[in-house]
């Protein structure tokens, strides 16, 4: 097996197709690892070239990678090749990565493509959104069925995120003793006053 050289790594990172072709002609194996590296570098042109040369892949893993890199064009292309979500956990990872980046285009696309999330993890998506402090993301998640609960108010209070706490309260999300205790323990004076 030929080791991947610095030149080949650079070709993958930069999407340098002529250099990649030289590496292949010198014995670089076309395998699943190679295509995953191209994906991790966000190089759609390289992924396409490798697939065009018959490089094997685990399309579902490449789809997950593309949503996390992020490269929405790659995710769309991989999806168009017939690749699908393998299980709810993969959907969860994709959504969380998009939420943490504030990448509304990606998570809107994931939702439109029916990217699944296990029911047991749905609340964790809302937690991830609240932890970013992005009220718009929480609003969007609420609009597509990811409803915040009282524990979300506690997270906002713990973060001393008064705008988020206000939004949650004005949206009818309850708070409980946990919310006040968390705000107190975190020294979230503004949130305590609001409560």
Give residue 147's pLDDT.
83
Structure confidence at residue 44 (pLDDT): 94
What band does 137 get if pLDDT is binned at 50, 70 and 90? confident
**Domain extent for 56:** 1-84
Residue carrying the six token digits 């009282």: 150
Q: Is the pLDDT of residue 32 over 80?
A: yes
How many domains does the chain divide into? 1
Average pLDDT score over the chain? 87
- The answer to whether residue 80 sits within a structural domain is yes
Q: Mean pLDDT, to the nearest integer, of 102-116?
A: 87
* pLDDT at residue 76 is higher than 90: yes
pLDDT of residue 134: 87
- Say which CATH number the domain at 60 has: 1.25.40
pTM above 0.85, yes or no: no
Distance of CA 102 to the CA centre of its chain: 9
Residue 128 lies in a domain: no
37 Cβ neighbours under 8 A, 6+ residues apart:
4, 9, 12
């Amino acid at each position: 097996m030929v080791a991947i050289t610095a030149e080949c790594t650079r070709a993958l990172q930069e999407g340098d197709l002529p250099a990649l072709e030289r590496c292949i002609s010198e014995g670089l194996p076309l395998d699943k690892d190679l295509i995953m590296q191209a994906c991790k570098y966000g190089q759609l042109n390289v992924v396409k070239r490798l697939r065009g040369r018959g490089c094997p892949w685990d399309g579902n893993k490449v789809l997950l990678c593309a949503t996390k890199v992020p490269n929405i064009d790659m995710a769309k292309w991989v999806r168009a090749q017939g690749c699908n979500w393998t299980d709810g956990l993969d959907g969860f990872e994709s959504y969380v990565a998009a939420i943490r980046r504030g990448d509304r285009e990606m998570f809107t696309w994931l939702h439109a493509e029916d990217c699944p999330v296990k029911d047991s993890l749905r609340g964790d998506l809302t937690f991830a959104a609240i932890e970013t402090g992005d009220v718009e993301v929480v609003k969007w998640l609420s609009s597509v069925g990811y409803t915040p609960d009282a524990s979300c108010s506690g997270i906002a209070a713990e973060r001393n995120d008064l705008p988020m706490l206000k939004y949650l309260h004005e949206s009818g999300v309850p708070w409980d003793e946990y919310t006040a205790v968390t705000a107190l323990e975190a020294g979230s004076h503004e949130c305590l006053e609001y409560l």
